[in-house]
Amino acid sequence: MSAPIDRPNNYGQAGHTYRSFKDWERDELIKNLSEALAVCDKRIQDAMIEHFSYADEDYGRRVKEGIEKKMKELEKMDKENLVPGRDAGHTKFGQGSLGENEATKDAIKKSHEADPY
């Protein structure tokens, strides 16, 4: 029979796993999570930081700092028009790069009409 326990530890395993990683593994994890979360809505970022902090205080703090650092990098690059940011794909050539536009045109030429289901 399945029943909830009186004192669940929903974050214990995640915290233990984080602490068992080598330094370089934690660094990679923080970098990957920070980069992925930097483009997310602030509410999602805050919720995830809260979960990571429950697992391990250092884990949550480092992800928060990583997100802030990555967002600053993205803002700087966006101001210099080096990264599309939230308007992904917009360049002086229009939507997407010149190569992407050519590939799209080529795919359209090679495509065939299909019967609907």
Q: Write out pLDDT tens, residues 21-77.
A: 999 999 999 999 999 999 888 999 999 999 999 999 999 999 999 999 999 988 887
DSSP output for 51-99:
HHHHH-HHHHHHHHHHHHHHHHHHHHHHHTT-S-TTSTTEETTEES-HH
Q: Write out pLDDT tens, residues 89-102.
A: 544 445 556 667 77
| pLDDT score recorded for residue 26 | 96
CA–chain centroid gap for 29, Å, is 12
Q: Write out pLDDT tens, residues 2-13.
A: 777 777 788 999
**Which residues lie below 8 Å from residue 38, measured CB to CB, with a gap of 6+?**
45, 67, 70, 71, 74
Q: Reduce the secondary structure of 5-26 to three states and give it as a string.
A: CCCCCCCHHHHHHHHHCCHHHH
pTM beyond 0.85? no
Could you state, in order of their start, the residue ranges of all structural domains in the chain?
Answer: 12-110
